[in-house]
């Protein structure tokens, strides 16, 4: 990532930095879709409890002025 | 060197007419109030070196021609703070904005961006407790009614790099990086009128290829040329096409891959010209196609998908890194590269497996879940609400943060390090000097900016301006011992004079 001027030594990234081993193999569509649906359903159950009530009014009243 | 500036959406639930500048000011001043013990009179921002109407193509736009929203260097009397972590927290137009301190690598960009998000969250809570309204902040880029606000990236580049090269290669890169940088959006078109899902919050707001504007007729390549550094040596590339990301992985990839492509351009290491036949149309087409199969026309007649084009950039970056002997020791560059390659491969096979890393995939999984479970169509308000609430930065309400706390969205930086970055600057840029001066000598700092710190100390008739035009100077390694010896700002000024 040498967008800075050349000749500058970059600091050694911290050891804990982005350590997760990356390319731990590409996952293909193998897990059964019902397992995935069950996990998503449990997320939705949790989210149902925090979603703002009266979605329509809430979304309609979110009005911003333009920025950059 | 790089940084991220984020304008947050601000609202009071159910009350669209509360004045946005007032709410934004309440948020920023609430932060000042929180720290009032150590910063009685908060130092103001110094505008002397700002020139927002200077164009990288080599001419200035006159103030008479400029739209009033392009004038950011006039102090409208709005709240404007410099923080001890080296960041700027202020009101920009009608939004609270956090501009991160300068950092040297993408993981630090994630860290100080996340610190800013937590600072904003705490400030909104403080403003809510102190004021008449519950104020909510959203890390998103549109209200789905025609308004957009930005999350801008900044990259320091060598002035010698021809701007035409930057435009040529970066346009194709920006159009296609949306496949992993997008935060996802319910609604197509600037006002979201057409039903459906798209990858990016921002894409539909881009109307031209190159230009100076950031608020109207937005260009894919922004030409604002305001380096906040020695202009003979540096250019600050101001990138306005990006989405604000909640996922740390998405921010990391966005900053890391863009920095790599800039390295390629600086080293003239992109052999293949991937210029698009119609970049603006392609920008919209890529965003509107979450199957990622849309074929794009290149200017030379070839046809490729966004993923194929990204693979070519990644391959060139891999070759450059392999030929630079010192870069093999840079673990983070290697990490960005391998994540970039793995992400593209996974996107091609099955994007849903990236729901714990990429915002648009995580958001789409929730939306598809509601569509399936409750039989909702894309026109249902509840889906628009899921889109909006995904970006609420309060951890009890924000859906991205809920996914994160249940381990369904990966983190890259530990909460303890974020807490530290809320108070302390990065060690390895001039932000260290700025932040430490504020932390140690706040009562003697009259103002500060990216390229100066201005002191007001007894014994000097005038304010004393210490320029910081060299972004890589003023680091902890260079200054900590000196600062430790100087008990007061007057000691520091005397020492700087003597040296």
Our CA-based measurement puts residue A66 at a distance from the nearest CA of chain B, in whole angstroms, of 5
B 172-231 residues inside an 8 A Cβ radius of A: 214-216
B331, A40: Cβ pair inside 8 Å? no
Average pLDDT (B52-78) is 48
Average pLDDT, chain A: 70
Measured between beta carbons, which residues in chain B are less than 8 angstroms from residue A51?
Answer: 382, 385-386, 389
Q: What is the pLDDT of residue A3?
A: 42
CA torsion angle B299 B303 B307 B308 (round to 10)? -100
Residue of B38, B55, B92, B392 marked catalytic: B92
Whether B59 shows a pLDDT value over 60: the answer reads no
Measured between beta carbons, which residues in chain A are less than 8 angstroms from residue B138?
Answer: 62
A22, B9: Cβ pair inside 8 Å? no
Average pLDDT (B103-130) is 97
Q: Which of B13, B137, B228 to mutate to test the interface with A (most CBs of A within 10 A)?
A: B13
Average pLDDT (B32-61) is 55
Range of the domain at B352: 152-390
A40, B365: Cβ pair inside 8 Å? yes
Whether B224 shows a pLDDT value over 50: the answer reads yes
Q: CA angle, corner B337, sides to B331 and B342, nearest 5?
A: 125
In a domain, B245, yes or no: yes
Whether A54 shows a pLDDT value over 70: the answer reads yes
Show the DSSP H helices in chain A as ranges: 33-48, 55-60
Average pLDDT (B16-33) is 89
From the list B24, B45, B48, B182, the residue with the least C-alpha distance to B96 is B24
In a domain, B293, yes or no: yes
Our CA-based measurement puts residue A8 at a distance from the nearest CA of chain B, in whole angstroms, of 8
Res. A25 pLDDT band, cuts 50 70 90? low
Domain count, chain B: 1
Q: What is the pLDDT of residue B56?
A: 56
Report helix, strand or coil for B9.
strand
B149, A47: Cβ pair inside 8 Å? no
Percentage of chain B exceeding pLDDT 70: 90
From the list B356, B85, B241, the residue with the least C-alpha distance to A68 is B241
B20, A65: Cβ pair inside 8 Å? yes
Average pLDDT (B49-62) is 53
Whether B39 shows a pLDDT value over 70: the answer reads no
Q: What is the pLDDT of residue A6?
A: 39
Task: Report whether B156 contacts B450 (CB < 8 A).
Answer: no
B342, A50: Cβ pair inside 8 Å? no
Whether the CB of B71 is below 8 Å from some CB of chain A: the reply is no
- Tokens 């193999």, residue located: A25
Q: What is the pLDDT of residue B329?
A: 57
In a domain, B434, yes or no: no
Measured between beta carbons, which residues in chain A are less than 8 angstroms from residue B160?
Answer: none
How far is B254 from B257, CA to CA, in rounded Å? Answer: 6
Whether A35 shows a pLDDT value over 80: the answer reads no
Nearest to A52 among B13, B262, B366 (CB): B13
Higher model confidence: residue B366 or residue A17?
B366
Q: What is the pLDDT of residue B43?
A: 66
Q: What is the pLDDT of residue B460?
A: 87
Whether the CB of B234 is below 8 Å from some CB of chain A: the reply is yes
A13, B331: Cβ pair inside 8 Å? yes
Q: What is the pLDDT of residues B388-421, one digit of tens each?
A: 999 999 999 999 999 999 999 999 999 999 999 9
A55, B384: Cβ pair inside 8 Å? yes
**Own/partner pairs for B408-412, CB < 8 Å, 24+ apart?**
B408/A43, B408/B355, B408/B356, B408/B362, B409/B246, B409/B247, B409/B356, B409/B357, B409/B362, B410/A20, B410/B247, B410/B248, B410/B249, B410/B356, B410/B357, B411/B248, B412/A17, B412/A18, B412/A20, B412/B107, B412/B110, B412/B248, B412/B249, B412/B252
User: Is B387 tagged catalytic?
Assistant: no
In a domain, B409, yes or no: no
Whether B41 shows a pLDDT value over 50: the answer reads no
Higher model confidence: residue B357 or residue A14?
B357
Of B209-213, B249-253, B396-400, give the lowest mean pLDDT range. Answer: B209-213
Q: What is the pLDDT of residue B499?
A: 58
Whether the CB of B11 is below 8 Å from some CB of chain A: the reply is yes
Of A21-35, B390-404, B471-485, give the lowest mean pLDDT range. Answer: A21-35
Q: Which of B1, B19, B217 to mutate to test the interface with A (most CBs of A within 10 A)?
A: B1
In a domain, B115, yes or no: no
Our CA-based measurement puts residue A23 at a distance from the nearest CA of chain B, in whole angstroms, of 5
Res. B47 pLDDT band, cuts 50 70 90? low
Q: Which tokens in the block code for residue B47? A: 């505008």
Q: How far apart are the first and last CA of chain B?
A: 27
Average pLDDT, chain B: 91
Average pLDDT (B78-84) is 87
Measured between beta carbons, which residues in chain B are less than 8 angstroms from residue A61?
Answer: 11, 13-16
Whether the CB of B307 is below 8 Å from some CB of chain A: the reply is no
In a domain, B4, yes or no: no
Average pLDDT (B79-100) is 94
For residue B432, list its beta bridge partners.
none
Q: Which tokens in the block code for residue B458? A: 């007894």
Q: What is the pLDDT of residues B227-240, one digit of tens each?
A: 999 999 999 999 99
pTM of the model: 0.90
Show the DSSP H helices in B325-406 as ranges: 331-349, 359-374, 381-390, 399-405
Our CA-based measurement puts residue B454 at a distance from the nearest CA of chain A, in whole angstroms, of 26
Res. B37 pLDDT band, cuts 50 70 90? very low
Higher model confidence: residue A22 or residue B165?
B165
In a domain, B103, yes or no: no
B 414-433 residues inside an 8 A Cβ radius of A: 414, 427-428
Q: What is the pLDDT of residue A19?
A: 44
Write out the H or E segment, with its range, that includes residue A58.
Answer: helix A55-60
Which of A35-49, B74-88, B438-452 is the most confident on average?
Answer: B438-452
In a domain, B65, yes or no: no
Whether the CB of B352 is below 8 Å from some CB of chain A: the reply is yes
From the list B437, B418, B357, the residue with the least C-alpha distance to B121 is B418
Q: What is the pLDDT of residues B258-315, one digit of tens each?
A: 999 999 999 999 989 999 999 999 999 999 999 999 999 999 999 999 999 999 999 9
A68, B396: Cβ pair inside 8 Å? no
């Amino acid at each position: 990532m040498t967008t800075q001027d050349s000749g500058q030594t970059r600091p050694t990234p911290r050891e804990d930095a982005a350590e997760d081993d990356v390319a731990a193999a590409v996952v293909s569509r193998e897990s059964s879709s019902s397992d995935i649906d069950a996990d998503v359903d449990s997320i939705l159950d949790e989210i149902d409890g925090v979603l703002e009530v009266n979605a329509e009014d809430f979304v309609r009243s979110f009005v911003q002025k333009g920025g950059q | 060197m790089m940084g991220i500036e984020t304008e947050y959406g601000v609202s009071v639930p159910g009350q669209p007419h509360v004045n946005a500048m007032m709410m934004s000011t309440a948020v920023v001043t609430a932060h000042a109030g929180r720290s009032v013990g150590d910063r009685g009179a908060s130092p103001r921002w110094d505008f002397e070196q700002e020139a927002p109407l200077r164009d990288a193509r080599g001419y200035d736009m006159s103030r008479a021609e400029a739209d009033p929203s392009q004038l950011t260097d006039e102090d409208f009397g709005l709240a404007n703070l410099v923080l001890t972590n080296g960041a700027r927290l202020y009101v920009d137009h009608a939004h609270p904005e956090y501009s991160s301190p300068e950092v040297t690598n993408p993981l630090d960009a994630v860290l100080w961006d996340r610190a800013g998000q937590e600072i904003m969250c705490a400030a909104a809570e403080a403003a809510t407790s102190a004021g008449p309204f519950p104020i909510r902040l959203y890390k998103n880029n549109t209200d789905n009614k025609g308004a957009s606000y930005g999350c801008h990236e900044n990259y320091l580049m060598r002035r010698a790099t021809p701007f035409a090269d930057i435009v040529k290669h970066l346009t194709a890169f920006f159009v296609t990086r949306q496949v992993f940088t997008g935060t996802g959006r319910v609604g197509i078109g600037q006002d979201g009128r057409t039903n459906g899902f798209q990858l990016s919050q921002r894409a539909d707001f881009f109307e031209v290829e190159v230009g100076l504007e950031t608020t109207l007729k937005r260009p894919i390549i922004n030409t604002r040329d305001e380096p906040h550094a020695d202009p003979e040596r540096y250019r600050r590339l101001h990138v306005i096409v990006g989405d604000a990301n909640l996922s740390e992985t998405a921010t990391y990839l966005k900053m890391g891959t863009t920095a790599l492509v800039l390295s390629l351009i600086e080293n003239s290491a992109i052999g293949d010209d991937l210029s698009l036949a119609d970049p603006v149309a392609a920008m919209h087409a890529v965003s509107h196609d979450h199957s990622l199969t849309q074929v794009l026309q290149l200017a030379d007649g070839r046809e490729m998908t966004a993923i194929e084009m990204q693979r070519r950039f990644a391959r060139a970056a891999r070759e450059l890194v392999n030929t630079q002997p010192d870069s093999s020791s840079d673990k983070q560059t290697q990490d960005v590269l391998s994540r970039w390659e793995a992400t593209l491969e996974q996107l091609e096979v099955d994007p849903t497996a990236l729901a714990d890393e990429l915002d648009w995939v995580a958001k789409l999984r929730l939306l598809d879940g509601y569509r399936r479970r409750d039989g909702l169509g894309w026109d249902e308000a509840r889906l628009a609400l899921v889109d909006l609430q995904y970006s609420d930065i309060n951890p009890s309400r924000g859906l991205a943060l809920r996914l994160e706390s249940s381990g369904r969205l990966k983190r890259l930086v530990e909460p303890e390090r974020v807490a530290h970055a809320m108070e302390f600057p990065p060690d390895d840029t001039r932000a260290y000097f700025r932040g430490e001066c504020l932390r140690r000598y706040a009562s003697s700092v009259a103002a500060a900016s990216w390229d100066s710190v201005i002191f007001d100390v007894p014994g000097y008739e005038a304010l004393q301006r210490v320029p910081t035009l060299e972004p890589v100077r003023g680091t902890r390694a260079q200054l900590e011992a000196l600062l430790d010896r100087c008990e007061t700002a007057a000691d520091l000024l005397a020492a700087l004079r003597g040296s």
